[in-house]
């Protein structure tokens, strides 16, 4: 193993559902979308909101009164998704904005437009992602999964953290995966130029999500800023994510799993909805399903792999993310947070 490869191959044992319930007595045993508090007056940005978990999240938040900014790469698909939500007779409002997370220039443009338009941001849900495609690169030359799933959301959060700090209950919810437990950061081959594996590089990006969100939580708390950074993962939920990236036999396997093994998207979205709305949700928590192997079930606090809580590794990834994106993400003890 390379000396430059920091690994997280020693997982901690997952807590049982009973242990989790004891550790979090305020969480209902079966929290559902019906438990979402009134979101009137709150503005939530959901990346990747035209399908899957993002669509379901946008739908439920709009049902409960939020103003939801739906970010989409394809405007036509976004319009169709927005119309489907509006047809449900939701009490909240919807706004459609284009965002291509595979292009950091577009992330910068999107964030600048949000700020220029004076739009408040109470919750940022870093939901969008790509899963196990053939090796490909973002516009800036980063491996696609790492670039979209981590770097783009790193920049988006950095650019909007000032706006989140102005909210009375600002939250950043970063959507990871249970597959983060197989992840490691390939510091000496980050783009997979020498060796690329679809699953290993997907796991890398999801591991990066956890490192980032927990480090963000530490920095926000140290600065005394009233913003919560939380994690969520959907377990094994049937969405088009499993079908849009994989090809060949892997895609057939994913199609079989979605049909016969996965829980539906409404259940999978509960974890990020809890993180985004529940009054008891606290910064640094990781919300996932309470079922066996965290594959399905109702929201509970779950544990990341041990290496994901390593502050030194997280700081190294943070610095690397700044270097790769050219964005300095500063959270100062003065109570200010900004990006340069």
Residue 329 · residue 158 · CB < 8 Å = yes
pTM, two decimal places: 0.86
Look at the block and give the residue holding tokens 């009490």: 91
Q: What are the residue numbers of the active site?
A: 202
Give the C-alpha separation, 61 to 38, whole Å.
Answer: 9
In the chain, the number of structural domains is: 1
CA angle 24, 27, 28 (to 5 degrees): 135
Question: Does 29 map to a domain?
Answer: no
Angle subtended by helix axes 104-116 and 152-165, to nearest 10: 10
Confidence at residue 151, expressed as pLDDT on a 0 to 100 scale: 98
Give the C-alpha separation, 6 to 189, whole Å.
Answer: 12
Angle subtended by helix axes 311-325 and 152-165, to nearest 10: 100
Look at the block and give the residue holding tokens 């993400």: 329
Rg (CA), the chain: 18
The runs of H, that is alpha helices, within the chain are 17-23, 52-63, 75-86, 104-116, 144-146, 152-165, 198-223, 241-244, 248-260, 265-268, 270-277, 311-325
The runs of H, that is alpha helices, within 92-139 are 104-116
The pLDDT tens digits along the chain (340 residues) read 333 333 333 333 333 333 343 356 557 789 999 999 999 999 999 999 999 999 999 999 999 999 999 999 999 999 999 999 999 999 999 999 999 999 999 999 999 999 999 999 999 999 999 999 999 999 999 999 999 999 999 999 999 999 999 999 999 999 999 999 999 999 999 999 999 999 999 999 999 999 999 999 999 999 999 999 999 999 985 555 544 555 565 545 444 444 434 588 999 999 999 999 999 999 999 999 998 888 999 999 999 999 999 999 999 999 999 999 999 999 976 555 566 7
Confidence at residue 25, expressed as pLDDT on a 0 to 100 scale: 56
Confidence at residue 10, expressed as pLDDT on a 0 to 100 scale: 32
Nearest alpha-carbon partner for 46 in 22, 82, 20, 76: 82
Question: Does 258 map to a domain?
Answer: no
Give the C-alpha separation, 147 to 138, whole Å.
Answer: 6
Give the C-alpha separation, 225 to 84, whole Å.
Answer: 37
Confidence at residue 120, expressed as pLDDT on a 0 to 100 scale: 98
Question: Does 317 map to a domain?
Answer: yes
Question: Does 298 map to a domain?
Answer: yes
DSSP annotation of 234 reads: -
Question: Does 66 map to a domain?
Answer: yes
Strands 6-7, 184-185: pairing is antiparallel
The neighbour count for residue 247, using CB atoms within 10 Å, is 12
Give the C-alpha separation, 40 to 91, whole Å.
Answer: 9
The domain that contains 43 carries what CATH number? Answer: 3.40.50.720
Identify any residues that bridge with 45 across adjacent strands, giving them in sequence order: 69, 124
Look at the block and give the residue holding tokens 């959060």: 157
Looking at the chain, how many residues does it have? 340
Confidence at residue 257, expressed as pLDDT on a 0 to 100 scale: 43
Domain that holds residue 211: 39-238+265-339
Question: Does 256 map to a domain?
Answer: no
Question: Does 33 map to a domain?
Answer: no
Q: Looking only at Cα atoms, what is the longest distance across the chain?
A: 56
* C-alpha to C-alpha distances, 218 to 15, 221, 261, 269, nearest whole angstrom: 23, 5, 36, 25
Confidence at residue 24, expressed as pLDDT on a 0 to 100 scale: 60
Confidence at residue 236, expressed as pLDDT on a 0 to 100 scale: 85
Confidence at residue 246, expressed as pLDDT on a 0 to 100 scale: 52
Confidence at residue 27, expressed as pLDDT on a 0 to 100 scale: 74
Residue 161 · residue 339 · CB < 8 Å = yes
Strands 67-72, 123-126: pairing is unpaired
Tell me if residue 321 falls in helix, strand or coil.
helix
Nearest alpha-carbon partner for 288 in 11, 14, 10: 14
Question: Does 255 map to a domain?
Answer: no
């Amino acid at each position: 193993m390379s000396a430059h490869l920091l690994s997280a191959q020693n997982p901690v044992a997952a807590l049982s559902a009973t242990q989790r319930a004891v550790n979090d007595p305020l969480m209902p045993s079966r929290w559902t979308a019906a438990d979402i508090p009134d979101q009137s007056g709150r503005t939530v940005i959901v990346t990747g909101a035209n399908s899957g978990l993002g669509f379901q999240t946008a739908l439920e938040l709009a049902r409960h009164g939020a103003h939801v900014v739906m970010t989409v790469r394809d405007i036509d698909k976004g319009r169709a998704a927005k119309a489907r939500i509006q047809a449900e007779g939701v009490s909240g409002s919807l706004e459609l904005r284009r965002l291509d997370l595979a292009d950091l220039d577009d992330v910068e443009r999107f964030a600048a437009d949000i700020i220029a338009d004076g739009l408040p941001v109470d919750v940022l849900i870093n939901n969008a992602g790509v899963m196990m495609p053939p090796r490909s690169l973002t516009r800036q030359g980063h491996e696609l999964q790492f670039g979209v799933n981590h770097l783009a959301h790193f920049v988006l959060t950095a650019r909007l953290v000032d706006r989140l700090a102005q909210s009375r209950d600002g939250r950043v919810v970063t959507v990871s995966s249970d597959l983060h437990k197989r992840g490691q950061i390939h510091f000496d081959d980050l783009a997979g130029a020498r060796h690329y594996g679809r699953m290993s590089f997907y796991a890398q990006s999801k591991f990066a999500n956890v490192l980032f969100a927990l480090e963000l939580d530490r920095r926000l708390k140290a600065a005394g800023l009233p913003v919560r950074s939380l994690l969520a993962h959907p377990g094994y939920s049937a969405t088009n994510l499993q079908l849009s990236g994989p090809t060949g036999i892997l895609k057939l396997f994913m199609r079989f799993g979605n049909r016969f093994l996965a829980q539906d998207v409404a259940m999978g979205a509960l974890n990020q909805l809890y993180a985004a709305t529940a009054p008891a949700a606290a910064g640094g928590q990781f919300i996932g399903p309470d079922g066996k192997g965290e594959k399905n079930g109702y929201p509970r606090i779950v544990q990341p792999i041990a290496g994901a809580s390593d502050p030194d590794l997280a700081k190294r990834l943070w610095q690397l993310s700044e270097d790769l994106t050219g964005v300095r993400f500063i959270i100062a003890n003065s109570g200010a947070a900004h990006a340069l």
